[in-house]
Amino acid sequence: MTNRHWQRHGPDHRNGQAVGFADIRRRFDFRSVRLGRWVTPDERDRAATAFYDALCDLMVILGGNEVLIGLRGTLSLEYGLGGQLGVAAHYMPTSRAFALAKNAGPGSIAHEWFHAFDHYIADKAFMGAPSSMMGSRAWLDSRPAQSHPLNQRLFGCYQAVLLDADGKQPSELFQASAQADRERGQLYYSQPEELCARAFEAFVEDAGIRNGFLVRGSRTSPEARAGLYPQGVERERIKRAFSEYFSQLGQALKQQTSIP
């Protein structure tokens, strides 16, 4: 991994010190951190620095703490370990792990972390949610909700992504994504969990800290030009919803209350 294809402009989280994956695991209380056997020591060290800064940047953007990033010790991290052909990064619900490919993962952390969060929050926001279900899909399926003020903010995020400003018709983001799926003969871009993860990417990329290892592509990529990321007024509405939810969640966590 090199930084030729991504740049970072943000606060110094390490005081100029080197960090390793052991530091990442301790700070964010990841359940496990696993590296592929073909990751060289140099690649490992550079990746650890990039991951550490990206996760700290995400924590600042969300206004949360380490508990949020590690999802209360339930989340695992994998780098350069196996993976799927042609897939730069992916989240695995069965093992609650997000994985980045050794040479193709930069820019994917925000997307995959949101999948992990969306999965983690499902049974805390909805009653009777199956263990593999994402919160975004549970909301779209009108699963019975767990009563909590933070959950109402979360549902506002899902609604902002999936429905229009009136909350009655599919959003422009959904319509563009469904069109892309029809053109490709697939069902991927228009799935609620993918729509919400891409919308979260846009929120993170617009937050002020520039980190191409954390997120990139929601503004000028071919996918963005095809409408697969929120645009214009809709993007601003979605960003407000995410900002309101995560700022309140972060305050609650810092006060040592639980994620609902």
Give the pLDDT score at 104.
64
Q: Are 197 and 90 in contact (CB under 8 A)?
A: no
Enter the tokens of residue 42.
């140099």
The answer to whether residue 83 scores a pLDDT higher than 60 is: no
Other beta carbons less than 10 A from residue 141's beta carbon? 11
The answer to whether residue 84 scores a pLDDT higher than 60 is: no
Domain boundaries, the chain: 12-105, 116-254
* Residues 192, 135: Cα–Cα separation, whole Å: 9
Contact partners, residue 258, CB within 8 Å, separation at least 6: 252
195-206 pLDDT, tens digit each: 999 999 999 999
194-240 pLDDT, tens digit each: 999 999 999 999 999 999 999 999 999 999 999 999 999 999 999 99
The answer to whether residue 248 scores a pLDDT higher than 50 is: yes
Who wins on pLDDT, 260 or 120? 120
Give the pLDDT score at 102.
80
Give the pLDDT score at 68.
97
Give the pLDDT score at 2.
42
Least confident of 103-107, 117-121, 175-179: 103-107
Q: Are strands 76-79 and 32-35 parallel, antiparallel or unpaired?
A: parallel
The answer to whether residue 114 scores a pLDDT higher than 90 is: yes
The answer to whether residue 151 scores a pLDDT higher than 80 is: yes
Which amino acid is present at 35?
Answer: L
The answer to whether residue 86 scores a pLDDT higher than 70 is: no
The HSE-up count of residue 215 (CA atoms within 13 Å, CB side) is 27
With a pLDDT cut of 70, the percent of the chain lying above it is 92
The answer to whether residue 105 scores a pLDDT higher than 70 is: no
Who wins on pLDDT, 87 or 190? 190
Overall average pLDDT of the 87-94 stretch: 85
Contact partners, residue 154, CB within 8 Å, separation at least 6: 121, 125, 135, 245
* Residues 135, 148: Cα–Cα separation, whole Å: 14
Contact partners, residue 233, CB within 8 Å, separation at least 6: 165
* Residues 131, 134: Cα–Cα separation, whole Å: 9
**Residue 89 pLDDT grade (very low, low, confident, very high; cuts 50, 70, 90):** confident
* Residues 193, 137: Cα–Cα separation, whole Å: 6
The answer to whether residue 245 scores a pLDDT higher than 50 is: yes
